[in-house]
Chains A and B, each alone.
Chain A
Amino acid sequence: MDLKEKLVSSYVAFEDGVNINSDVHDIRTKAFHDFEKSGFPTKKMEAWKYTSLNSILKEDYSIFPDKEKTVNLADVKKYFIHDIDTYKIVFIDGKYSSFLSETTHDQIDVCLMSSALTKSKYKAVIENYFNKAAKEENMTSLNTAFAKEGAYIHIPKNTEVEKPIQIINFTTGTEEATMLQPRNLIVAEQNAHVQIIERHQSLTKNAVLTNSVTEIFADRHATVDYYKIQNDAVSASLVDNTYIEQQSESTVSVHTFSFGGNITRNNLNFFQKGEHIDSILKGITIIEGKQHVDHHTLVHHIEPNCESHQDYKGIYDERSTGVFNGKVIVEKEAQKTNAYQQNNNVLISDKATINAKPQLEIFADDVKCSHGCTIGQLDDQALFYMQQRGIPKKEARALLMYAFANTVLESVKIPEVKERITRIIANKLGVNIGFDI
């Protein structure tokens, strides 16, 4: 039985565990039919031309891993940003781990999607927001059909959350292959401010496929900073579908750090529903081996006087492959839009590949849209220069790569996250960094 059939035939069993007489379930059922019709994306679809899921769809995934697994804090502590105080929403094999989590209902809600979907006190928020930004797209529909668990974060008006929130999904690999479909909802009301760090981490060599959907709503003048740390095991693949809806004067930034994993596909979508909005999309990708990372970004400028800033840096070694497809739509009404897109890539090896495509659809006539895309190699003369000053080749290369990625790194607002990313990069490049830039 292929994975689609398996998923489709398991839907009835899934319905046993949820309330089928709810509005949410109507949404699920609609999404289920959509997935049943469309199936998994194939390379024939323009948006999936360079990313094939075939190799990972062959695994015999366990769809509802039901064994309660515990993990030792000592074993997983390193995956947390643990040198600062944070809220934590932690899942193990898709199940909430109260032991590793630190949630709250004090002024703000930092808790579970499963509660939000079932308890009446969240009903209004769910009605207003659940699946309102997400689009009917293959992988998203699949997630929506089975949406049950994930992080639920609700920040009321004028509230600045004083510590960052971490969302971490661990997979223990008890099953031979595990499929997870976390569903996150983040609502930042007027003038609210929140910082979120998200990570997926497999703890074994068994195959993992995560198909995640995150919806983020930023109301007027709200600020949301979101950091995605993708440094998973090479047997783990991720399809990340993130949809962001912004109201006037809000600022949302998403940083995506892609260093690990087998196949990683990021669908990052911004919809600007007001004026004077700022959307920031940044990413660093450093991969090797046969790893594949695909960034598909969309910024939809709907109203006038808004900005978007994209800056993606990629470093590809060995036989790794990368995709950057940056789509910017500027509607006719969206005059005075300022859309900036930068995508720079370095190919370290002859066998590495990057497919880069800026895609601008501009219907307004008074806008500033710029895009720059480069593909190059590390500068030999710069390497020689650094070596001449006594810096060994490996360190010189690392320093050049840091310098290359630094425009993204320096915009990270949480110092501990910045430090962590720096350390992951140093580990990856096999250097002990004696410099900070």
Chain B
Amino acid sequence: MLKIENLHAEVEEKAILKGLSLEVKAGEVHAIMGPNGAGKSTLASIVAGKEEYEVTEGSIELDGEDISELAPEERAHEGVFLSFQYPVEIPGVTVTNFIKTAINESRKARGLEEMPAKDMLKKIREKSELLEIDRKFLSRSLNEGFSGGEKKRNEIFQMAMLEPKLAILDETDSGLDIDALRIVANGVNKLKSKDNAVIVITHYQRLLDYIVPDFVHVLHDGKIVKTGDASLALELEKKGYDWIKEEVMS
């Protein structure tokens, strides 16, 4: 589904990704771990199309099509979803109106009619129940005054509404207490299918207890330096990253 090859990227002439390759197939869950500043969030932003980052070499393909020149919204229409590490507050726009607009813009891009109001409401009801979201929450301004946990839950709610092909969860576990973590993870697991894929970016093992990855990659200095199965995450949790850095050095 997603194929990144030899990706080099920079921001303000500073190289952040230095030849990263990654292949994610439909139905898979990949975890990307690594120390601070390794380039994890940058990778997420670049796949989503953030304009400040310049891809200087390499390619990003989604289902065989190069998406590296597409605008962020076009990538979203192709099925890329990024759950933000720091979701943006947008005062004056309610959660419901925002998600309605997002869904209908995606439908428009695909040549579909707007979703009938009745279907929209039904879907909102279903997905908010899945994520145990209080109905009152939906008429609040998007992310304004939300706690860290509410923001993250709202991200996964939007993911559930948009049903992306490829979801990238950028530190979705940060700011979540253990109950919220379970709800969010449960939501993600329920949305998983053989046709979509999830990339989980995290510092810690604990989210991976709930969303079990097929592959764990370690990102260091703009490259993937080690790949393993779920047990690699446990090992990292126990031993930290230094041994990997040493391995790379030698």
Residues of chain A having any CB pair with chain B under 8 Å: 379-382, 384-393, 395-396, 399-400, 402-404, 406-407, 434-437
Q: Which residues of A contact B100 (CB under 8 A)?
A: 434-435
Residue B215 interfacial (CB < 8 Å): no
* Complex: A83 Cα to B93 Cα, angstroms: 27
Q: Mark B85-96, 1 if CB is under 8 A from A, else 0.
A: 001101111100
B-side contacts of A400, CB under 8 Å: 90
Listed residue (A387, A402, A437) with the most chain B CB atoms within 10 angstroms of its CB: A387
The 4 closest A-B pairs by CB, nearest first: A403-B92, A387-B72, A390-B76, A406-B92
In the complex the two chains form, is A437's CB within 8 Å of B92's CB? yes
B57-91 vs A, Cβ < 8 Å mask (1 yes, 0 no): 00000000000000111011100111010011011
- Contact yes or no, A389 B92, CB < 8 A: no
Q: Is B105 an interface residue (CB 8 A)?
A: yes
Contact A387:B101 (CB < 8 A) given known A381-B88, A382-B88, A400-B90: no
Contacts of B135 in A (CB 8 A): none
Q: How far is the CB of B166 from chain A (nearest CB, A)?
A: 12
Interface pair B94/A434, CB less than 8 Å apart: no
- A385, B81: Cα distance in complex, Å: 10
Chain B interface size, under 10 / 10 to 19 / 20 to 34 / 35 or more: 35 or more
Let me know if A393 and B162 touch, CB within 8 A: no
Task: Evaluate contact between A404 and B92: CB separation under 8 angstroms.
Answer: yes
In the complex, which of the residues B102, B104, B158, B162 has the most CB atoms of chain A within 10 Å of its own CB atom? B102
Compute how far the CA of A403 lies from the CA of B158 in the bound complex, rounded to whole angstroms: 19
- Chain B: CB-nearest residue to A389: B102
Closest to A432 in B: B108
Closest chain-B Cβ to A435's Cβ sits at a distance in Å of 4
Q: Assuming A385-B84, A391-B102, is B90 touching A403 (CB within 8 A)? A: yes
Give the shortest distance, in Å, between A210 (CB) and chain B (any CB). Answer: 33
Q: Is the CB of A390 within 8 A of B73?
A: yes
Q: When the two chains form the complex, which single residue of A386, A388, A403 contacts B48, counting CB atoms closer than 8 Å? A: A388
- A401 to B, closest residue via Cβ: B92
Cβ-closest chain A residue relative to B103: A390
A387 x B73 contact (CB < 8 A): yes
Known contacts: A392-B105, A435-B101, A437-B97. The answer to whether A387 contacts B71 by CB under 8 A is yes
Q: How far is the CB of B219 from chain A (nearest CB, A)?
A: 21
Residues of A within 8 Å of B71, CB to CB, are: 387, 392-393
* Chain A residues whose C-beta falls within 8 Å of the C-beta of B99 in the assembled complex: 389
Chain A residues within an 8 Å CB radius of B94:
437
**CB <8 Å contact, B101 and A395:** yes
Contacts of B50 in A (CB 8 A): 384
A385/B88 contact (C-beta < 8 A), A390-B77, A393-B71, A437-B93 known: yes
Within 8 A of A (CB), among B91-133: 91-94, 97-106, 109, 114
A434 touches B105 (CB 8 A): yes
